[in-house]
Structure 1
Amino acid sequence: MSDETVNTLVVGGGQAGLAMSEHLSKHGIDHLVLERHRIAERWRSARWDSLVANGPAWHDRFPSLEISDVGPDDFASKHSMAAYFEEFVDKMDVPIRCGVEVTSVEKTADGGSFVAQTSHGTIRARNVVAATGPFQNPAIPPLVPEQAGLVQMHSTAYRNPSQLDAGGVLVVGAGSSGSQIAEELLDAGRDVYLSVGPHDRPPRSYRGHDFVWWLGVLGKWEMKLPPAGAEHVTIAVSGANGGQTVDFRRFATKGMNLVGMTRDCEDGVMRFAPDLASNIEAGDANYLSILDEADDYVAREGLDLPPDPEARIMRPDPECVIKPVLELDLAKAGIRTIIWATGFTQDFGWLKVDAFDAHGAPQHVRGVSSEPGVYFLGLPWLYMRGSSFIWGVWVDAQHLAEHISASHQNDVAM
């Protein structure tokens, strides 16, 4: 593959790149998708063994293809999701090449197109879509120095409890990944500490509908900006065990040790902020606000949905919330492993174009970048709250394909 030319080069063969391909094909746009590993690689190798999708199968899919091996209200396993995307590639005849890494993209000398250097040669393209998604480089805060007897890993490296050495585990981060991993370890008999920061905590289901349905009818998926001050607040939701509301008080009742947000570590002593109670209280407020809005919606629309008063019952605060641990000697507590469920950083070092601000963040309007011909897809809040989710990225890809098609028609007319 050398000196090849396509109209549009899509970098990334995950959900964003595949959605982009479907819409480009509908518009008759010549394109190529490059994936440095395998189709949907993150689902295959950067998730723990028991992971399931956080939304039911009727929701966590593209509109053009159902997930065939699970029921619509069930939560697909990571293996089912990888198989789903492979089936999508076959059905849509996606022009994808795997095992090809894009090392750089630059504008051509005349400025009319781009040249991509890849591990298999050079490709020239009129347009480039960065569809590498939000999960690029695992982020581990440099708080705990390397020391004997203590293993540190990102949540992407965790697979199952038997993988870890004997001893206690500290999980830092209580979003979807951290909360699910911590509960799995607790159920496996491990002594678990969970560091809980600010979070949203929606009900798994309410009045007969899953929370993703409620977020849809309440217009929350289409929110254009996160609430002020909540730009980096994680969401604690799970499809594990058939789908349950994440309840940190329930975790504590089962024996989990809850602590506040991780601050720093010195001489083997981890220090936590005194914010555990306030973080849980804010999560409760988020939870109850969704119930209130749902009840208002039912009344306003005259829907016949059964009341669910038990959903408002809160367990009492456990001892670890009333008297929070602010310092933890890791060795004395028997902690042998720290799992950092602390998110990711983005890496666009390969995209050498004028499409970033002074901090390296993409500059765009709904994915259309400040550099003509360059597009971004699959990023959190690209256009709306749902932009990094499967159905949301499909909607955003439709918009970008329309923009590319219009530009293509203008080029042809000139």
Structure 2
Amino acid sequence: MSSEETEVVVVGAGQAGVAMSEHLGAHGVPHVVLERHRIAERWRSERWDSLVANGPAWHDRFPGLEFSDVHPDAFASKDQVADYFVAYAEKIGAPVRCGVEVTSVRRHAGRAGFRVETSKGAIDARFVVAATGPFQRPVIPPIVPDGAVCTQIHSSGYRNPEQLPEGAVLVVGAGSSGVQIADELRRSGRQVFLSVGPHDRPPREYRGRDFCWWLGVLGLWDAETPPQGAEHVTIAVSGARGGHTVDFRDLAADGIQLVGLTMSYDDGVLRFAPDLATNIALGDAQYLALLQAADAYVKRNGLDLPEEPEAHVLGPDPECVTEPRLELDLAEAGVTSIVWATGFSADYSWLQVDAFDENGRPEQRRGVSTEPGVYFLGLPWLSRRGSSFIWGVWHDARYVSDHIVTQRGYLAYGSGQRPLAAPVTGKN
């Protein structure tokens, strides 16, 4: 059966796929980027209406293009972020093919490369980059059975308060998504319960600088491994309403009922772990540690940044923390909806190669797979703390691209041929 041929197939045209295309194009490597929907589709159709980026526009972007319609210190809306990646793909002349779903990738038998089967035909490629990122399959823990409440949805399916039936709402998960959704629901007049697990709680801004800046100058974005046990700890920070520091005391003062980690369900009653105070205290400790590190940096470098002693003062714990609720009768509390802000899992069922461990996780180092010719991009902690962020994935893509270029050189040796160059588009 005949098929198209190219050097590299990049699967996914979100931030990772667009970044990968830029670096491959700069090296003259022939490639295609396959996207089953639209560029940056998840920003458009799998996020709630009021979502904004959690980093300021000066930081959460690629080096080659600024946001044209967002102040550098403001936070882009989800549609502005999606439009940004469309504009970036056009700027670099990325060979993106939308509406093409990759159904399988298998290594050729007896020769180099891979057969990439798609909804629009087959492609033979020497290299494959899985740039689908970590947010592929919404995860809802199997705790509350169907029918126990009117509505159970994942945060990726939540759009706005009007979408939910009348009544109280339980939001499970206190990372950025859970906190912002809970806050929006409360401001709409709903009674809200928020299940709070372990989290990292940085300041939105301190001494006139955004926390993204502090993590940068303190070298924390470049941390290569997460603290033990913190690989999947969420970050509670918000760009909503101009950006603000998340403080669970403030959420409680606004009427949100805080509870611990959601553990089990039985006969209409949810049970929570007695860990609420501990989770909040650990988040506070990380918050204060960052402030102290920032103060030390200012002093060490003689910077003229305004002092903020009040930022170090934490208010008293609310009653819902000191006397935590361990059970919630859903009907008695009037809870008609549960929003599960409990993250995602990866789905690599289409990638049928020897590149995964016994738990289905990619075996890779800095995106270079244990399966020669296969690469991963856009995963948390791929090379550093910032790997799954917009700017971080751009730098990871450069490393992966350089690795591909080096391998192409080895493969060309002795063949009498130079590696093929990509056609000139005039847009790079």
TM-score of the aligned structures, taking structure 2 as reference length: 0.96
2:356 pairs with 1:356: yes
SS at match of 1:339: strand
**Does the 8 Å contact 1:250/1:315 carry over to 2?**
no
Q: How much does 1:367 deviate?
A: 0.5
2:179 pairs with 1:182: no
SS at match of 1:360: coil
Partner of 2:424: none
92-101 vs 227-236, which moves further? 227-236
**In structure 2, how many angstroms separate the alpha carbons of the residues matched to 1:194 and 1:274?**
14
Letter in 2 for 1:301: N
Q: How much does 1:149 deviate?
A: 4.5
Partner of 2:192: 192
Letter in 1 for 2:209: H
SS at match of 2:352: coil
Q: Which runs of structure 2 are paired with 1:7-406 in the superposition (5 Å)?
A: 7-147=7-147, 149-406=149-406
User: 1:305-363 CA distances to partner (integer Å, 9 max, x unpaired)?
Assistant: 11111111212111111111000000100000000000001111110111111111111
Q: How much does 1:56 deviate?
A: 0.2
**In structure 2, how many angstroms separate the alpha carbons of the residues matched to 1:386 and 1:207?**
22
Partner of 1:410: 410
Partner of 2:417: none
**Does the 8 Å contact 1:262/1:273 carry over to 2?**
yes
Name structure 1 gaps, 5 residues minimum.
Answer: none
SS at match of 2:33: strand
Q: How much does 1:233 deviate?
A: 1.1
**In structure 1, how many angstroms separate the alpha carbons of the residues matched to 2:218 and 2:73?**
20
**In structure 2, how many angstroms separate the alpha carbons of the residues matched to 1:229 and 1:392?**
22
**Does the 8 Å contact 1:53/1:239 carry over to 2?**
yes
Q: How much does 1:2 deviate?
A: 6.3
Partner of 2:425: none
Alignment CA distance shift 1:364-1:141 (3 Å)? same
**Does the 8 Å contact 1:59/1:391 carry over to 2?**
yes
Letter in 2 for 1:68: S
**In structure 2, how many angstroms separate the alpha carbons of the residues matched to 1:21 and 1:221?**
24
Name structure 2 gaps, 5 residues minimum.
Answer: 415-428
**In structure 2, how many angstroms separate the alpha carbons of the residues matched to 1:201 and 1:213?**
15
SS at match of 1:325: coil
The sequence identity of aligned pairs, in percent, is: 65
> Matched residue pairs, number?
414
Alignment CA distance shift 1:86-1:198 (3 Å)? same
Letter in 2 for 1:336: T
Alignment CA distance shift 1:276-1:2 (3 Å)? farther
User: 1:16-37 CA distances to partner (integer Å, 9 max, x unpaired)?
Assistant: 0000000000100000000001
Letter in 2 for 1:28: G
SS at match of 1:180: helix
**Does the 8 Å contact 1:47/1:159 carry over to 2?**
yes
User: 1:36-72 CA distances to partner (integer Å, 9 max, x unpaired)?
Assistant: 0110011000100000000000000000111110110
Q: How much does 1:136 deviate?
A: 0.5
**Does the 8 Å contact 2:148/2:268 carry over to 1?**
no
User: 1:363-394 CA distances to partner (integer Å, 9 max, x unpaired)?
Assistant: 11110000110000000001100000010000
Structure 1 runs, 4 residues or longer, greater than 3 Å off: none
User: 1:230-276 CA distances to partner (integer Å, 9 max, x unpaired)?
Assistant: 12211101100100001110000011100000001111100000111
SS at match of 1:106: strand
**In structure 1, how many angstroms separate the alpha carbons of the residues matched to 2:386 and 2:205?**
18
**In structure 2, how many angstroms separate the alpha carbons of the residues matched to 1:306 and 1:2?**
67
Letter in 1 for 2:288: L
SS at match of 2:387: helix
Q: How much does 1:150 deviate?
A: 2.2
**In structure 1, how many angstroms separate the alpha carbons of the residues matched to 2:238 and 2:178?**
10
**In structure 2, how many angstroms separate the alpha carbons of the residues matched to 1:88 and 1:111?**
36
**Does the 8 Å contact 2:149/2:335 carry over to 1?**
no
**In structure 2, how many angstroms separate the alpha carbons of the residues matched to 1:53 and 1:242?**
11
SS at match of 1:281: helix
Alignment CA distance shift 1:111-1:358 (3 Å)? farther
Question: What is the alpha-carbon root mean square deviation over aligned residues?
Answer: 1.0
**Does the 8 Å contact 2:202/2:287 carry over to 1?**
yes
**Does the 8 Å contact 1:143/1:264 carry over to 2?**
yes
Letter in 1 for 2:200: D
Q: How much does 1:148 deviate?
A: 5.8
User: 1:119-170 CA distances to partner (integer Å, 9 max, x unpaired)?
Assistant: 0000000000000001000000000011164210000000001111000000
**Does the 8 Å contact 2:134/2:378 carry over to 1?**
yes
**Does the 8 Å contact 2:207/2:307 carry over to 1?**
yes
**Does the 8 Å contact 2:127/2:373 carry over to 1?**
yes
Letter in 2 for 1:63: P
SS at match of 2:386: helix
